[in-house]
Amino acid sequence: MDPISVSLFLHLLLLLADHHLAADDVSDALFNNRCKELCGDLSLPYPFHLNSSCGPQVDAFRLTCTHNSSLYLTLGPTELRIIAFLTSDSILLDYSKSKSNSNSNSSPCDRWYADLNDTAGVLNRNPFVAVTPDNVLRLYDCDDSSVCRSGCERVGGCEGTGGVYQGCCYPLSDGSVWKAGEGFGVFGEYGCRGFSSWVEKRGLVGNARRGIEVEWAVPRRLLEDVACADGAVMVNSTVVKKGYRCACGPGLVGDGFARGIGCFKDPCTIEPNIGIVPVWCNSNTFVSFTQSSKVVFGDFLANLFTIDPNIGIVLVR
């Protein structure tokens, strides 16, 4: 390969990496399930699936895609829309109960955006999902203001007339009223009637996302049906009781599940003495790139290199 071709190739490679990193900044090395199922712009990671042949025979992990654009998770008799798969262990849910309300024009700062009594039981802990402490609630019409906390008022930006914020706030990480994994029924005991929710990771004020984060896990009783792959370890869930997930060991990436894509060599691992261009350290981008290099770079540039998925590198010709 001549120096100009190498320079052009590396430049395009970096541009593509920057594009994917910006789009996937909330992901944590998420991998599409073995059927590469999509709903709108959401890729479904294993064990979640639409078609029964693409995941375990467990109803809790079977999702519904409406109009090929909106993805729903069933919790008891209720379907909640999935906004995003935040990391390899959590999901961001829309807390509006009905499909019709998920497209409502009402503001999350509106007292009637979500009724606490209607939603409280839906989000109770179950064997597969549980609410995480990273959520910050805005509570409306509470009879007892002792549930309110200071320091989180600005989350969600619900500033009203004269700089007064709508409702009051309670970060679930406070832990004095709400306990990890519980639903929201406890706030009804303070006479609260409405709520909205944002996820705020690592205390980054201004970077909160509307929705409710729930951790997902596989109940240990299903260990034989949802087994870990070779090279993976079983990781205990944090707020889901007696739950686990599979995670690939050091030097490996993948979803960690035997019937998912399993584990393979980390694309950031550099093989010595074979003349390679390392792939950038972003697993989502790597998977996308290996599947669509000719689409992205065109036949001319694609013919200048080959991709070895077994060792996660670009081999320069």
209-240, pLDDT tens digit by residue? 889 999 999 999 999 899 999 999 999 999 99
91 & 204 share domain: yes
- d(CA 246, CA 88) in angstroms, rounded, equals 10
Q: Which of 232, 289, 286 is nearest to 259 (CA)?
A: 232
The rounded Cα 56 to chain-centroid distance in angstroms is 19
Count CB-CB contacts under 10 A for residue 158.
Answer: 20
Judge contact between 56 and 225, C-beta under 8 A: yes
17 & 66 share domain: no
In a domain, 33, yes or no: no
Alpha-helical (H) ranges within 109-256 are 116-119, 185-188
In a domain, 115, yes or no: yes
In a domain, 137, yes or no: yes
83 & 56 share domain: yes
In a domain, 58, yes or no: yes
Q: Which of 150, 184, 190 is nearest to 170 (CA)?
A: 150
Task: Return the percentage of the chain with pLDDT > 90, whole number.
Answer: 42
298 & 239 share domain: no
279 & 302 share domain: yes
Long-range contacts of 263-266 (CB under 8 A, 24+ apart): 263/229, 263/230, 263/231, 263/232, 264/309, 264/310, 264/312, 265/310, 265/311, 265/312, 266/312
Q: For the chain, where are the E strands, in sequence order?
A: 38-39, 42-43, 64-66, 70-75, 78-87, 90-93, 129-131, 135-140, 168-171, 194-199, 209-210, 212-216, 218-219, 232-236, 243-248, 252-254, 263-265, 276-278, 305-308, 313-316
Task: Return the percentage of the chain with pLDDT > 70, whole number.
Answer: 68
Judge contact between 136 and 95, C-beta under 8 A: no
pLDDT computed for residue 301 by the predictor? 41
pLDDT band at residue 20 under the 50/70/90 scheme? very low
**pLDDT-wise least confident of 84-88, 181-185, 220-224, 252-256:** 181-185
147 & 280 share domain: no
Judge contact between 203 and 172, C-beta under 8 A: no
Q: What predicted TM-score, i.e. pTM, was given to this entire model?
A: 0.74
Mean pLDDT of 235-251: 94
Q: For residue 62, what are the contacts with CB-CB under 8 A and spacing of at least 6?
A: 48, 49, 50, 52, 55, 74
189 & 274 share domain: no
In a domain, 31, yes or no: no
- Number of domains forming the structure of the chain: 3
256 & 282 share domain: no
56 & 195 share domain: yes
Q: Which of 148, 140, 152, 129 is nearest to 243 (CA)?
A: 129
What is the chain's mean pLDDT, rounded? 76
Return the DSSP state at 170.
Answer: E
Is the dihedral angle over the CA atoms 184, 185, 186, 190 positive or is it negative? positive
In a domain, 307, yes or no: yes
Question: Which residues sit opposite 159 in a β-bridge?
Answer: 165
pLDDT computed for residue 96 by the predictor? 64
Q: What is the dihedral of CA 273, 277, 283, 289, to 10 degrees?
A: -130
In a domain, 32, yes or no: no
305 & 230 share domain: no
pLDDT at 49 over 80: yes
- d(CA 113, CA 95) in angstroms, rounded, equals 9
232 & 127 share domain: no
Judge contact between 287 and 31, C-beta under 8 A: yes
Count CB-CB contacts under 10 A for residue 52.
Answer: 11
pLDDT computed for residue 292 by the predictor? 35
226 & 277 share domain: no
Condensed to tens digits (0 to 9), the pLDDT of residues 97-148 reads 544 444 445 677 777 778 887 776 778 878 999 999 999 999 999 999 999 9
pLDDT computed for residue 106 by the predictor? 62
In a domain, 30, yes or no: no
Q: Which domain holds residue 293?
A: 3-25+266-316
pLDDT at 277 over 60: no
